[in-house]
Structure 1
Amino acid sequence: MGVRGLQGFVGSTCPHICTVVNFRELAEHHRSKYPGCTPTVVVDAMCCLRYWYTPESWVCGGQWREYFSALRDFVDSFASVGIKLVFFFDGMVEQGKRNEWVKRRLKNNREISRIFHYIRSHREQPGRNMFFIPSGLAIFTRFALKTLGQETLCSLKEADYEVASYGLQYNCLGILGEDTDYLIYDTCPYFSISELCLESLETIMLCREKLCESLGLCVADLPLLACLLGNDIIPEGMFESFRFKCLSSYTSVKENFDKKGNIILAVSDHISKVLHLHQGEKKLEEMLPLGPNRALFYKGVASYLLPGQSSPWFFQKPKGLIMLDKQVISMSSDPESKQGVPICTEPESKQEVPTCAHPEIKQQLPVETDSDFNLEVPMYAHPKIKEDKPMDMDSEIKQQVTLVSDPEILKVARMHHIQAESYLVYSIVSSGEIECSNTLEDELDQALPSQAFVYRPVRQRVYTLLLGSCRDDISASLAVKEWFVYPGNPLRHPDLVRPLPMIIPGGTPSLKSLWLNQEPAVQARRLDALLACFNLSSSRDELLAVESPLRALCCLLIYLFVQVDTLCLEDLHAFVAQALCLQGRSTAQLVDLQLEYISPRAVQLGSLLVRGLTTLALVNSACGFPWKTSEFMPWNVFDGKLFHLKYLQSEKGYSVEALLEQNRSWLTRFHNLKAVVCKACMKENRRIVGRGHWSSHHTGRWGRQGSSSHRTSSSCGHSGQGQPWRDQGPGSRTHEHDQWRRY
């Protein structure tokens, strides 16, 4: 994240730009300077997840009660000194940053492999040096913060631009995060989350003005420096030879500095002593070896310009302007090169429909895109701004190239997305492209499928629900691009996944009916749609009889046990027992739980269930929220360490009474829940048996042998041998059928 090498440089070479500050004192000073204005800290939540996750146990699927308690303590600490917090989460991966996203996911895969190797070798959780955040942490953190009454927003792009924009526009006390890009943006002060002491509310402030003094630059030069060094948009190797030339001619190389530190000093020296000489006289591309990377470079520099800001490094042409959201793009008059050069940002024109005035380019351009070099202009999506100009939002939505053409539906989906109330829905209806990061899955375990495949049929039915109103002429070839991480997927291309037919009693309702109709009878239709996404319509009455919050968990368990044949009766006992015992445990009691050893299979089962809960979040929001989000929040239905304990006990053959700690009231509920799950599975010809009753053909593979098991699909080129969910290939295949379902 951020600028290559800058974090280390600041710590080793320029420690004086780091100042210890106290939030209580900062808030008091802010109130005296701006009477009547609440001191506000805007939080880059994605940077804070590791800091927030303080529970000792992390490998078992997440200690969600402990985590929720830690979040509450964090919020309360700032509230106690009168500071308001505004949290931003990444909403989508920008296309220009997809390669960087893929690199990180593949790196994470290697880390996960090492984690499972350690577990198999030592039968214990690795140390914190191998810490990997539990699956679904970012998603459920959004809901947790909203439950705690916090303003929580989801960006339309990666969050750093919107965080910096919010901090500037609302005169915030500062930004709390861990990303050197916040040293580059010309915005409010930047504070380190990793250095925060919650008890004293002291942390480190990193001062961009002091950084500029050390480098001999001005703040307006920092975006240029960032791109020459390399960041999430500009690959590190793009200007490697240029940096080497700067280093070779730099006369103040100090032996006690590391190589990256010297490179930063050398590039800064070149900017201040060479490029400044011709600033305003020559185009930047004449002073730098941009070559074929010219467009990408300008895109990178422009990505740091916030609304109302301009860059002195862009040579302005008097004609050929394209208005793109908040940025003005100047088209070069060179007939051989039509790449746009970003000049400035203009807040008054941020909602204008983009048009091109260049005589050679007469077509209308879609919002956020320059057709010549795909300059994706960052958009500021704070709902307060959007609400001020509702007609402008409608106009903007109408200009987008989306899979769903109804502007009213897009507007609702966008609103829920920005307000962090939904999950993945807006990405599907707007771009037809979604992603899911790494999950703690053991690539050597041949008996359990990746969550990406287990829940794919559910997603396919959601696509039908969301995209069913698409034009007939494109629906036949419609496919959603899925960037899902699973073992063996090199992520060179997305998987192209087609919608799957779904059967809803009374027919498939429209999104307008599900999302906008407030009549009481529609709520039942919303629930019908949710159950149909899991193919559980036939178990509606039994599920409705289950009390909240176990109803959602019951729905998920039925789906899992129908879908995955290698789940056995002992697994069901462990899942149900932990859910019931959780109701009677305090947070302190969960903290004190001790495990005899760690089972890699139980680790993966815990992650599989939590990913199911995130899938429920997608389905629930797509269906118009038939269930309250509290019904499937993990702190209400799942604790990783408690599940692991029950799994180990069940595996050893503990009786149901022992699993339930001799609690008679839990015993009755246990048998009721188990009966609902088993009855629903029997309707699908799936009999759940104990591990000792498995027939000899169970060899640790997913899916039963026999005519009812559709384990492979010739349309996807599967071999039909060995590991049906591991051998999916490198992506880009079009998945049409519900081929991973067992029947």
Structure 2
Amino acid sequence: MGIKGLQWFVANACPDACTMVNLKEMAEKHHISHPDSPPVIVVDAMGCIRHWYTPESWVCGGQWQEYLANLQDFIKAFMAVDIKLVFCFDGVVEQKKRDEWVKRRLKNNKEIARIFQFLKSYRQQPGRGMFFIPSGLATFTRFALKSLGQETICSLQEADYEVASYGLQNNCMGILGQDTDYLIYNTSPYFSINKLCLDRMVTVMYSRENLCHALGLNITDLPLFACLLGNDIVPEDILEGFWWKCVASCPPKSQSYDKRANIILAVASYISRVPCSYSSLKDLEEMLPLASDKKLLYRGVESYLLPGQQSPWLPPSVSNSQILKQETAICPDQEIFQLAKEQHVRAENYMVYNVLSKGEVECSNTLEDELDTELPGQALIYRPVRQHIYSVLLESGKGKGYPCIHCSVSETSSLRACRLDHVL
């Protein structure tokens, strides 16, 4: 999701951090400096779907051939300049970010409600300004890309972390997406999907080095900077008091900046004046109203460390923060579990691995009218089907009727973002 207001700030208050680049020329330079490996761009696929799906008549979905043609044109444009694409999709909702996931689904529900209100009021297709990704499109896109011969990955962790990690570990030419978290990770260059012009193969490259220069920070300060502005781990509501203290000690440099831009500048100024050490981070944790979770800021900074990286704001022993821990899968058959994991990574399935590993399933938003009381939400309609899938996967229904009542799988549904715990 990135950092609220940072995209606007970079584009409007820090123009040196935005450079128009020619991807063909960059690929040629990459070939020269890395003759043994082709230039690779890792694509944050979920951040690109809005760019790929362009039909004006979108609310009913169904324009599959048109969408497939768009994907083909996109791939061909990169192939023509010898750039390989690797597409990465979200594969899990991490427990530490589940509350934020629920908040976003509730926000999405309001957007969907406005779409149905528009349809009822005007009896016509909503404009692109109300666009919401048609139901199931993300899942279908994975299979579309695979059918077009593209390398497609489904993440085992937070997708933006895996995208950043893949870019760093594979010496990629860059990352294509639209998420300011890619400015925070110390990884490959970050290219904008929104600014991409396929005809000329140009886009905007965002420079974390130039951003740091404008803010008076070091690259290793960016994870703390992101946390103190609020992200998926550190909620904004506990930071507001801290922001106003920063703004009071660092008056706005320009009246043309909005409130958020002034907060960004003030937080950066505060960090630049604080000794770069773990003790300073602990002092910050004491300042913030973290309630019982005093390690929240620590975990937030740690979440941006890619394999092999360390932070001067954390103890020296802390590195490789998100290397996958040894799975404690609820599936007793490790051979089956390993197969499900491999298929998950190859984007061949989504649900099976999550059920076998943690017994968790998310039912995300779909385009359905919550006010239509005659038809239950799809999450409820298809619950018996999912129950049967759980019973088959977990073998607790062997020799018993359908549906099985002995499995225990935790579901989180976007239907009023409710928890459907132990429903089997």
Shorter-chain TM range is over 0.9
2:138 matched to 1:138? yes
Match of 2:409 in 1: 480
Counterpart-to-counterpart distance in 2, 1:181 and 1:239: 19
Counterpart of 1:88? 88
Distance 1:497 1:33, change over 3 A: same
Q: Deviations over 1:51-84 (max 9, x none)?
A: 0101222111331111111111111110011000
Please point out which of 407, 424, 428 is paired with 2:351: 424
What is the CA deviation profile of residues 401-421 of structure 1, one whole-angstrom value per residue up to 9, with x for unaligned ones? Answer: 322111111100100001101
The whole-number CA distance in structure 2 between the counterparts of 1:300 and 1:17 is: 24
Q: Deviations over 1:135-183 (max 9, x none)?
A: 0011011000000000000001220001001100111000000100000
What pairs with 1:214-613 in structure 2 (closer than 5 Å)?
Answer: 214-273=214-273, 275-276=274-275, 279-280=276-277, 282-288=279-285, 289-290=287-288, 292=291, 293-316=293-316, 343-345=318-320, 377-379=321-323, 399-468=326-395, 478-486=407-415, 489-491=416-418, 493-498=419-424
Distance 1:239 1:121 in 2: 40
CA distance in 1 between partners of 2:150 and 2:391 (Å): 33
- Matching residue of 1:531: none
Secondary structure of residue in 2 paired with 1:134: coil
User: Structure 2: which amino acid aligns with 1:30?
Assistant: H
In structure 2, distance between residues paired with 1:444 and 1:259: 37
The alpha carbon displacement at 1:281 in A equals 8.0
- Paired residues, number: 417
SS at match of 1:86: strand
Q: What amino acid sits opposite 1:412 in the alignment?
A: L
**Structure 1 pair 267/455, CA: closer, same or farther in 2 (3 Å)?**
same
Q: Check 1:280–1:124 CA distance in 2 against 1; reply closer, same or farther (3 A cut).
A: closer
Which residue in 1 is equivalent to 2:70?
A: 70
CA distance in 2, matches of 1:421, 1:483: 22
1:481 alignment partner AA:
S
3-state SS of paired residue (2:59): coil
Aligned pair in 2 of structure 1 residues 439, 476: CA closer, same or farther (>3 Å)?
A: closer
State the distance in 2 between where 1:311 and 1:299 align.
Answer: 12
Q: Partner of 1:158 in structure 2? A: 158
Mapped partners of 1:30, 1:281: distance in 2? 38
Q: Whole-Å Cα distance in 1 between the matches of residues 34 and 97 of structure 2?
A: 38
What is the rounded CA distance, in whole Å, between the counterparts of 1:243 and 1:63 in structure 2? 46
Residues 281 and 54 of structure 1, relative CA distance in 2, 3 Å threshold:
closer
Aligned residue for 1:282, secondary structure, equals helix
CA distance in 2, matches of 1:47, 1:151: 17
Q: Aligned to 2:348, what secondary structure does the other structure show? A: coil
Q: Aligned equivalents of 1:444 and 1:174: distance in 2?
A: 44
Contact persistence 1:403–1:470 (CA under 8 A): no
Given that 2:341 and 2:353 are in contact with CA atoms closer than 8 Å, whether structure 1 keeps it comes out as yes
CA offsets 1:233-278 (integer angstroms, 9 cap, x no match): 11011222111111101145321111111111111111112x13xx
**Superposition deviation, residue 282 in structure 1:** 3.3
Task: Give the distance between the partners of 1:283 and 1:127, measured in 2 at CA.
Answer: 49
1:470 deviation in Å?
A: 9.0
Q: Which residue of 2 aligns with 1:30?
A: 30
Larger relative contact order, structure 1 or 2 (CA cutoff 8 Å, min sep 6): 2
SS of alignment partner, residue 87 of structure 2: strand
Tell me, in whole angstroms, the C-alpha distance in 2 between the residues paired with 1:457 and 1:379: 36
- Three-state SS of the structure 2 residue aligned to 1:43 is strand
1:282 counterpart letter in structure 2: S
Asked whether the 8 Å contact 2:5–2:261 carries over to 1, the reply is yes
CA distance in 2, matches of 1:27, 1:265: 35
CA distance in 2, matches of 1:231, 1:70: 33
Please identify the structure whose Cα radius of gyration is greater. Answer: 1
- Match of 2:237, SS state, is coil
- Counterpart amino acid of 1:71? L
Residue 58 (structure 2) pairs with residue 42 (structure 1): no
Give, in whole Å, the separation in 1 of the partners of 2:63 and 2:323: 35
Q: Single out whichever of 447-456 and 122-131 deviates more from structure 2.
A: 447-456
In 1, Cα distance between the equivalents of 2:417 and 2:44?
A: 29
Give the deviation of 1:400 after TM superposition. Answer: 2.6
Q: Counterpart of 1:285 in structure 2: which amino acid?
A: K
Q: 1:409 to 1:59 in 2, by over 3 A?
A: same
Does the Cα contact within 8 Å between 2:118 and 2:126 map onto a contact in 1?
A: yes
User: In 1, are the aligned partners of 2:391 and 2:397 still within 8 Å (CA)?
Assistant: no
Tell me if structure 2 keeps the 8 A contact 1:177–1:192.
Answer: yes
Query: Taking structure 1 as reference, are residues 281 and 447 closer, same or farther at Cα in structure 2, changes over 3 Å only?
Result: closer
> 1:199 and 1:114, CA in 2 relative to 1: closer, same or farther beyond 3 A?
same
Offset of residue 315 of structure 1 = 3.5
Q: Is the 8 A contact 1:483 1:494 kept in 2?
A: yes
Paired with 2:167 and 2:278, the residues of 1 have a C-alpha distance of 34
In structure 2, the CA distance between the partners of 1:281 and 1:101, relative to structure 1 (3 Å rule), is closer
Q: Which 5+ residue runs of structure 2 have no aligned equivalent?
A: none
- Worse-superposed segment, 31-40 or 279-288: 279-288
User: Could you tell me which amino acid in structure 2 is paired with residue 497 of structure 1?
Assistant: V
Deviation string for 1:410-449 (max 9, x for gaps)? 1001000011011210001111111121111112323333
**Percent pairwise identity:** 56
- Classify 1:379/1:143 alpha carbon distance in 2 versus 1 (closer, same or farther; 3 Å): farther
Which letter does structure 2 place at the counterpart of 1:88? C
Aligned residue for 1:203, secondary structure, equals strand
Kindly state the Cα deviation for residue 3 of structure 1 after the two structures are TM-superposed.
Answer: 1.3
The one-character-per-residue Cα deviations of 1:325-351 (angstroms, maximum 9, x if unpaired) are: xxx5xxxxxxxxxxxxxx222xxxxxx
**Structure 1 residues 146 and 160: CA distance shift in structure 2, 3 A:** same
Checking the alignment, whether the CA contact within 8 Å between 2:88 and 2:155 is kept in structure 1 is: yes
CA–CA separation in structure 2 for the residues paired with 1:86 and 1:451: 32
State how far apart, in whole Å, the 1-side matches of 2:36 and 2:279 are: 47
Deviation string, structure 1 residues 360-418 (Cα, Å, up to 9, x no partner): xxxxxxxxxxxxxxxxx5346xxxxxxxxxxxxxxx6xx43322111111100100001
Please provide the CA RMSD for this pair: 1.9
Question: For residues 98 and 22 of structure 2, what CA distance do their matches in structure 1 show?
Answer: 37
Going from structure 1 to structure 2, the CA distance change for 1:120 and 1:252 (only over 3 Å counts) comes to closer
